[in-house]
Structure 1
């Protein structure tokens, strides 16, 4: 078997990735050959003797490099979900090659001239809305990436892009290495006081797997979150919290401070080179928000509404901790612990009491049932396709007519080669070519508590909403129904992409939906009504503080990327403190730094876009209000959502799509009302 397997049509069921047959050593030669092949496809477009048309230039360009895209998606998805030293090394080698190839396209003057010719004639071409969008996107893809620059400036752009691709990778590798490097071994059973039984058992199992005596805790979320939430030992909570908060900020070989400053400066230089004031001005031109001013106004308007509530909530929490344990000053490592205790007192709602009703398999089935009731989808677990790890579950998705809709991969548990957090990704996009609707391969990746010897995987309610969130992204990918791959599924404006995911979380709070899947894993008893009411009542618990936290991240992002002179920033920590000054509740922790592990904006695609979580909350609250009015499983509303949002990808302006679904622009009041920050 050679690397050529990556360059051929996969001889597999549904053309799925043949993971078990791909060796790490295949990637580099396959990438190089696929780049060569993609270049030849570009050359064929450029050298076409016929006059430029939409078909022979714009359409041809969108379908070019298909094999390269496929290899890239397999490789980089594994680099996030199942990486190793070899893959990371290849990533460092391949990223500059891909960056260079991307620049070879956008800086190809002859290709741009063909695109420009079609673009200038667009009013005479009688194009569909999707074709108009594609043409506009292709033209901007060139103009926004330097096609109109002089040769000298184009070279500068190439150098910047090459360097940025390396720095972003290094940033992520350092965060993963820091996460994996920390272990807290507890040998005294007294130090486990307060921890749930399942957490203790999982820590014991982890220690055993590493041939250690005692209980092992790490910075992986299923280990970290329960510890800081329930452990009575304040010093150990502090130890774990400081380790999590200081990732990339220890002045060691994994330090990210210099990398952050360099990324920010290079992004700014790139934006200036292209004629934009800042990186945020460049990014937001292609977002619903449009300008940094609009984002700042949006964040500050929410801040104004949330801050009084957050300040009061913090004061109450402080008093509660003082009365309970004589805590004079509440610290960051106390927040989750006392918030959980206060929540239990106010609502008699303990996450640990809820967990038996949220067995992972049942929650998965619940998400599938909701999708069936809303969108007529059917999920069948299959074992006929290849997996990249034994933990991965694989599903064939069909509609009520039995038509094949998509393949879904689901990967739920932490392991050393997998980054923290949760995400949805694509192994193969949907598109229509030669009359055939080629269906997508979608994956959701999470980090939930693994089953132990005595218990199945039982989710916290927060993990339940996380699963529904990623499943919402997956539906956006699976129900895609567009002609062109670059407009398919989640290829939408970044501040629109969270709508399908966040709207799905709402079903987790509804009795009608919970009764479908929230059954006790031992007795089969449906979740009691009083617990459902408590979940709903507690949904706005500390909403002011939660909102303030999200806004602080959005403001930090903008402080880095809407800055007109980032080269003046010399200290990451000092800059961060200034950005946080208006949203701070807890005392400063010298050892901690958010930016050095803020992967969303320094490794992922959220730079100048973190605000979009809150932006999408406005959309999702407004959208779900419509479902609530008509019934949460109302088929007409679900069809409107599917036809105007989920299936349309990036084929039209998102506000146009949203208004077609909703009949109006979204109103922030729906979010403020749901959050309890506005009197109902």
Structure 2
């Protein structure tokens, strides 16, 4: 069988030939490429020449190039364009990749060569990036069990294979649970308060299902407007209950046991490698360094945020009381928060949406990248994509090709919820030739309708800027080795570029350049723009406390959880001090907490707030000198280009001149 995955990609910029790739190509490709990569690794391990940096560390960093590309391609499709067949293949491929990874990390001859180079590193004349690669390679092997005996190595291999499969299953269950629910409403009166533009989308969703009336799903662009605007409290309650019961209903897609199994496996892995718990294991490789520092950080934020959060909720309760609600519930929060936002700032998402046409917001983020980093974007409709909704852009810097960018903006069946940035090909330099990256930004914004283009809520505007911040980290990558390129940085550093870029959405000077009515071209009024800017800290106490709660739950799961305890009880006990509303016994966060159980944020969810300290401090530096200041932008570009090739704190201090200051975040959030 002719298999395009096994051939050299001949499309422009070596881009993936999506239209030629079929499901049946993946398993044979993975099987062959894993075999080829194993032989490549074995050749490095069996090399009779003296181990040196070039023939061992560097050779390993560049190994498995084709397997890497096919892996990126498959797992990206499994997130953005999955189906039953791809999910079945994922279940077969994951243990193969896990076994391959274990085989490398447990290759004694290979590790002996690495150790020889590492032990003699003081005698080597290495660049800073080479020193980083050597250190990271050695530590990576040790943390993967290279110093274990053979029996323990086998146990670790089984644990990793299990973790891989169970994490995959967790994510698939959440997706299936999300897709399994929809609410069909025939009477438009039940949808009072929901803007017409949203109702048009609900009507279109019903038509897609060959149903009368309107359909609301648990996909965020459908769910969020309903709980934000629906005057029908019973409807808000039903939707919130369905959302809170995702993978927590005892049914086919329930994740409660999987949570326990994943935690137990991680704990077993940590202990096997000589760590007290999984959090300790993870944090050794983070900026934060240890659990105590993270808990101290979270406690400080919680103590600062809680009084503000309580005051914010008190304001909401006063509004709710006017509607005869004596006890607010979680499903009332978004509705009354929107009312209060309108009252305080006269801002309504649906009133603002006409000023944030998706194409115009994208143009704005492109123009910002040009102002700061001299990047130009050119759409290329000839580049192959995996879905006709995906658009592709070539990015140039001073006329030189910099990166390929795929953008995939709309929800559809088979696409997981949320927004993310990923890559199909990393940047690196080998034998005098540089491979430039292929980056993808995936979101779930409302689709265009017959009457209007895709119009974004302001929160969705910030989401696009957030993911594009990640994308720039990949686009500007300028390292030698692929494992240190772009977003391959410490987890609590990776959110700095994304959260940093969000700040521009609140700057009047910049907002005026793109907040224009999609029909009239009228610029959003100065008054509204000033209110958007002022609204940045709206409900910041509540949001901070919520994020701190999730981060604390994550940390406690990975440092204190006892398997006999019910998931629900553990969650409620952990979040007790941070709960601002009555707890619903039928809902839980953990069984659909994909970030920590299906993604890479185990013992790392705190990094969102940690990175907020970095981004607040970094943007404060710009604000003191001008938000488009060329000199500072050039220094910031160096930070982005460097990826994981240098210590992140050193990178930050080289940019800012000092370590980040938590006061910058507190000042921005609470004044």
**What TM bracket, shorter-length normalisation?**
over 0.9
Q: Distance in 2 between matches of 1:48 and 1:109?
A: 13
| Of 539, 560, 577, the match for 1:582 | 577
| Of 597, 610, 615, the match for 1:602 | 597
Q: Which contiguous aligned blocks of 4+ residues in structure 1 show a shift greater than 2 angstroms?
A: 566-570
TM-score by length of 1: 0.98
Displacement of 1:506 in angstroms is 0.4
CA RMSD of aligned residues (A): 0.7
Query: Is 1:369–1:516's contact at 8 Å kept on the other side of the alignment?
Result: no
Q: What's the counterpart of residue 418 of structure 1? A: 415
Q: What's the counterpart of residue 254 of structure 1? A: 253
Mapping 1:378-393, distance limit 5 Å: 378-393=376-391
Q: What's the counterpart of residue 86 of structure 2? A: 87
Displacement of 1:570 in angstroms is 2.7
| Of 394, 411, 423, the match for 1:396 | 394
Q: Distance in 2 between matches of 1:9 and 1:526?
A: 49
Query: Is 2:428–2:485's contact at 8 Å kept on the other side of the alignment?
Result: yes
Q: What's the counterpart of residue 505 of structure 2? A: 508
Query: Equivalent residue of 2:138, what SS?
Result: helix
Query: Is 1:540–1:674's contact at 8 Å kept on the other side of the alignment?
Result: yes
Mapping 1:440-589, distance limit 5 Å: 440-563=437-560, 566-589=561-584
Q: Distance in 2 between matches of 1:412 and 1:500?
A: 20
Query: Is 2:264–2:563's contact at 8 Å kept on the other side of the alignment?
Result: no
Q: Distance in 1 between matches of 2:109 and 2:371?
A: 51
Q: What's the counterpart of residue 644 of structure 2? A: 650
Q: What's the counterpart of residue 185 of structure 1? A: 184
Q: Deviations over 1:445-483 (max 9, x none)?
A: 000010011010000000000000000000000000000
Q: Distance in 2 between matches of 1:611 and 1:602?
A: 15
Q: Deviations over 1:138-195 (max 9, x none)?
A: 0011100100001110011011111111100110000000111101000011011000
Q: What's the counterpart of residue 627 of structure 1? A: 622
Q: What's the counterpart of residue 665 of structure 2? A: 671
Query: Is 1:195–1:230's contact at 8 Å kept on the other side of the alignment?
Result: yes
Query: Is 1:601–1:610's contact at 8 Å kept on the other side of the alignment?
Result: yes
Query: Equivalent residue of 1:581, what SS?
Result: helix
Instruction: Count residues in correspondence.
Output: 671
Query: Is 1:207–1:215's contact at 8 Å kept on the other side of the alignment?
Result: yes
Q: What's the counterpart of residue 637 of structure 1? A: 632
Q: Distance in 1 between matches of 2:153 and 2:208?
A: 52
Displacement of 1:607 in angstroms is 0.3
Displacement of 1:307 in angstroms is 0.6
Displacement of 1:567 in angstroms is 4.2
Displacement of 1:347 in angstroms is 1.2
Q: Distance in 1 between matches of 2:118 and 2:261?
A: 36
Q: Distance in 2 between matches of 1:639 and 1:177?
A: 45
Q: Deviations over 1:605-659 (max 9, x none)?
A: 000000000000000000000110111111111100001x110000011000000
Query: Equivalent residue of 2:512, what SS?
Result: helix
Q: Distance in 2 between matches of 1:669 and 1:343?
A: 26
| Of 647, 655, 661, the match for 1:661 | 655
Query: Equivalent residue of 2:434, what SS?
Result: strand
Displacement of 1:16 in angstroms is 0.3
Q: Distance in 2 between matches of 1:556 and 1:109?
A: 38
Displacement of 1:11 in angstroms is 1.0
Query: Equivalent residue of 1:416, what SS?
Result: coil
Displacement of 1:320 in angstroms is 1.6
Q: Distance in 2 between matches of 1:424 and 1:584?
A: 31
Query: Is 2:470–2:498's contact at 8 Å kept on the other side of the alignment?
Result: yes
Query: Is 1:160–1:266's contact at 8 Å kept on the other side of the alignment?
Result: yes
Q: Deviations over 1:525-575 (max 9, x none)?
A: 112110111101111111100100000000000110012xx3444310001
**Is 1:11 aligned to 2:10, yes or no?**
yes
613-622 vs 524-533, which moves further: 524-533
TM-score by length of 2: 0.99
Query: Is 1:358–1:518's contact at 8 Å kept on the other side of the alignment?
Result: yes
